[in-house]
Chain A
């Protein structure tokens, strides 16, 4: 493994791990439900995205920053602002979901397919 690849994987590991620790602290220390925790992380991602901060973290850590759900909020707001720049107010709504399509469509499709094939576990 070359040095550059090793460094990239290490950065992903550390940043991805740290974001998960924030989630764990919201679970355990703040005693929030998973739904509250995920909502906070997504909203935080949208805020960081609106100020252009989160994309810098993605450039630094790759999947370490783009796999956590925080990135979902960032992608939504970034696409929405690109839409606004291109075609004004209605561009926000036509572009917002463009880059999250794979995630939502795949999650819905595989959730349904799995429900068809498997039996629930107790």
Chain B
């Protein structure tokens, strides 16, 4: 419109000029505080269960179950995603982020039907975690077995 060629490079420059810089230090501080508080709260629950003579494995399972159930509920209420916008990785990196990604995808695609929407899209983000987790674990365990390291 102004006579200049609208090349991709030019467009990228424009985008860069008008994108506000990310406040990395502030985001990291919020991620540290929120992630730290969440994991410390989980540890408090685990210690409480252990003090009531629950076995180590069982207590870990109860903590995971409780965190996931609570996260799904808060996601359904729309609270988790609002908190997540402030806390960033602090709420995305713990297992609650995995539950949140599944629940929000399951909810978001509900309008396309329970099977094609919710069923087919629930693993939209979480699928990457499972694919790369199983992919690397399978490869590493096979290597370890071949090298007689297990």
Q: Which residues of A contact B128 (CB under 8 A)?
A: 35-36, 38-39
Total residue contacts A-B, CB cutoff 8 A:
267
Nearest-CB residue, chain A, relative to B127: A35
> Which residues in chain B, 105-143, are within 8 Å of chain A measured between CB atoms?
105-108, 110-111, 114, 118, 122, 125-126, 128-134, 136-138, 140-142
Q: How distant is A95 from chain B, measured CB to nearest CB, in Å?
A: 9
Q: Which residues of A contact B43 (CB under 8 A)?
A: 8-9, 12, 61-64
Contact present for A16 and B76 (CB under 8 Å):
no
Contact present for A120 and B108 (CB under 8 Å):
yes
Q: How distant is A20 from chain B, measured CB to nearest CB, in Å?
A: 3
Q: Which residues of B contact A18 (CB under 8 A)?
A: 32
Q: How distant is A30 from chain B, measured CB to nearest CB, in Å?
A: 11
User: Which one of B38, B99, B111, B137 lies within 8 Å of A16 (CB-CB)?
Assistant: B38
Interface size range of chain B in the complex: 35 or more
Q: Which residues of A contact B142 (CB under 8 A)?
A: 84, 89, 92
User: Which one of B67, B75, B89, B105 lies within 8 Å of A27 (CB-CB)?
Assistant: B89
Nearest-CB residue, chain A, relative to B61: A102
Contact present for B40 and A73 (CB under 8 Å):
no
Contact present for B150 and A85 (CB under 8 Å):
yes
> Which residues in chain A, 35-82, are within 8 Å of chain B measured between CB atoms?
35-39, 41-43, 45-47, 49-50, 61-64, 66-73, 76-77, 79-81
User: Which one of B78, B92, B102 lies within 8 Å of A111 (CB-CB)?
Assistant: B102
A15 to B39, CA, bound (A): 9
Contact present for B42 and A93 (CB under 8 Å):
no
A110 to B71, CA, bound (A): 9
Contact present for B39 and A80 (CB under 8 Å):
no
* B93 sits at the interface (CB 8 A): yes
Q: How distant is B120 from chain A, measured CB to nearest CB, in Å?
A: 12
Q: Which residues of B contact A13 (CB under 8 A)?
A: 36-37, 39-40
